[in-house]
Amino acid sequence: MKTRGDRHEWQARHELHELSRIYGVVVRSLVPKLVSISAIRVSGVLGLVLALLTIPSCTRERSCCQSAAQEEAGKLGSLRASLESVTASPWLPPNQREEKLPFSVAATNQDGQAVRFEDFVGKPVALSFIYTRCTNPNKCARVSDTMAGLRSESEKAGLGGKVRLLLISYDPEFDTPAVLKDYGLQHGLRCDQGTMLLRLDPNEKGKFFDDLEVAVNFNRSGVNIHGLQLLLFDKKGRLARLYRTLIWDNGQVLKDLQLLVEE
């Protein structure tokens, strides 16, 4: 029978294998080091790799010679650039923004109030996705905690009331307003007219997810697999940037939101 540690190591090796298919030999050469580190419990292997990039080479391998350390640093630098290129889309200037929020789609917030996405025009929007039955602590729970942090940090940055923060359920069939409200409280998300948990009309969720190319798949029992995404929209509801694959950095998102507020 596998212990909790065994399961973590197996998951890490599996994720690293998938990552190595994309990034090649640089990641494969890191596998023995990565799986030996207890920090494997952080949010997914990509988050772990990024965390490792901040650790001095001497900590990772004290016995390595200087030339080997420099070679490893070069590989890690290349990996950092590759990861950043796939975890955030380029910033789109206003004249290049085409994709829009599906304005006509109906939704209900955590208090049972009906809303339409056209109601959010006029302020920048940061939008992500969760569902309350998600069992992976590094996905929906982490997204919710990070969005709660973004709410607090946006207020400290003077953006309170100037932006909208939305979490949309993948699973409107189960996630009623009452369920979403309780879930938000569990994750410290303070909801009001600027921060909401939303339940889509189940008959319109397919159109909404297709229009925004949301990374989610369903089977007969519901959500089968999903990614991590944060979409940033300008005051006209046009997509300006997409964060994906691993949890976003609130500091960078705040900079993006400030730019959108100033437009």
Region label for 3, one of left (φ > 0), alpha (ψ between -120 and 50) or beta (otherwise): beta
- For residue 262, is pLDDT > 60? yes
Per-residue pLDDT tens digits for 54-83: 444 444 445 555 565 566 556 555 555 555
**What value does the mean pLDDT of the chain take?**
80
Which of 56-65, 66-75, 211-220, 239-248 comes out lowest in average pLDDT? 56-65
CB of 244 closer than 8 Å to CB of 228: yes
Q: Which has more pLDDT, 87 or 78?
A: 87
Question: How does 20-58 read in b/e, with b if 16+ C-beta sit within 10 Å?
Answer: beebeebbeebeeebbeeeebebbbbbbbbbebeeeebe
Torsion angles phi and psi, residue 17, rounded to 5? -60, -45
Instruction: Name the pTM for this structure.
Output: 0.71
- Mean pLDDT to the nearest integer, 240-246: 93
H/E element, 167: strand 164-169
Q: What is the pLDDT of residue 85?
A: 58
Q: What is the pLDDT of residue 87?
A: 86
- For residue 192, is pLDDT > 70? yes
User: Model confidence at 15, in pLDDT bands (50, 70, 90)?
Assistant: very low
Q: Domain residues of the chain, as ranges?
A: 4-87, 94-262
CB of 221 closer than 8 Å to CB of 22: no
The architecture in CATH of the region 94-262 reads: 3-Layer(aba) Sandwich (3.40)
